[in-house]
A and B are shown apart, each in its own frame.
Chain A
Amino acid sequence: GQQLNQSPQSMFIQEGEDVSMNCTSSSIFNTWLWYKQDPGEGPVLLIALYKAGELTSNGRLTAQFGITRKDSFLNISASIPSDVGIYFCAGHLSNAGGTSYGKLTFGQGTILTVHP
């Protein structure tokens, strides 16, 4: 099935550092979403992007919807220990219809470790 290529797979950083991760695809998406998942929990929606070029912030998090509609990135500034977790990008294909309407394609996740 359709895959989103998310990178990096894992990151080990020091508290206070900035973090950047991204997702790319060969297909066009009309929506990009970024989620964070803590161990043993369900993913939590961080940011939703709907327009090509859109740049949206949520506190220390900033995400952008790529101009080509085939990529997105997430930045975390001044990381803190509670940023630890798995970050997933997800997208809704622009040509998804019928039984595919509303379904999301997920990236493989970026495991973030923050050292105090």
Chain B
Amino acid sequence: GAVVSQHPSRVICKSGTSVKIECRSLDFQATTMFWYRQFPKQSLMLMATSNEGSKATYEQGVEKDKFLINHASLTLSTLTVTSAHPEDSSFYICSASRDRSPYEQYFGPGTRLTVT
């Protein structure tokens, strides 16, 4: 159990366009979902925390108008990178936790975004 999927796994887009990344918990209801960004050979950097039906909580320094997060249901959260620029190129990973083990986060496989 505790499987999280992400779609797409890779995306290449042109500068100025927007990209949407989906994160789904496949076999459990996710109380909370988290979005991370990871640079090569570095640790995970938390971008925001989202709970179903409420606004996401963004970490300091993360532009909420640029990284739009929607947590429409207990199994789906989306991250939209708006007006993407080359510096937004990165590996984006989502995770989800469930009520019975709120401190355990289960990660998706990640999305490699390349902005040209």
A53 to chain B, nearest CB (A): 18
**A binding-site residues for B, Cβ under 8 Å:** 30-31, 33, 35, 40-45, 48, 50, 88, 90, 92, 99, 101-104, 106-109, 111
Given A40-B110, A42-B109, does the pair A92, B93 have CB atoms closer than 8 Å? no
Q: Does B67 contact A (CB under 8 A)?
A: no
| Neighbouring B residues of A42 by C-beta, 8 Å | 4, 6, 93, 95, 107-110
Interface string of B13-53 (1 = CB under 8 A from A): 00000000000000000001010000001111010010000
Pair B102/A106 contact, Cβ less than 8 Å:
no
A66 to chain B, nearest CB (A): 17
Q: Which of A45, A99, A102, A109 contacts B43 (CB 8 A)?
A: A109
Cα–Cα, bound, A50→B103 (Å): 9
Task: Name the residue in A35, A104, A107 with the highest tally of chain B Cβ atoms < 10 Å from its Cβ.
Answer: A104
B29 to chain A, nearest CB (A): 15
What number of B residues sit within 8 Å (CB to CB) of A? 27
| CB nearest neighbor in A for B108 | A42
Q: Does B75 contact A (CB under 8 A)?
A: no
Cα–Cα, bound, A48→B101 (Å): 10
| CB nearest neighbor in B for A9 | B41
Pair A88/B109 contact, Cβ less than 8 Å:
no
Task: Name the residue in A44, A90, A103 with the highest tally of chain B Cβ atoms < 10 Å from its Cβ.
Answer: A103
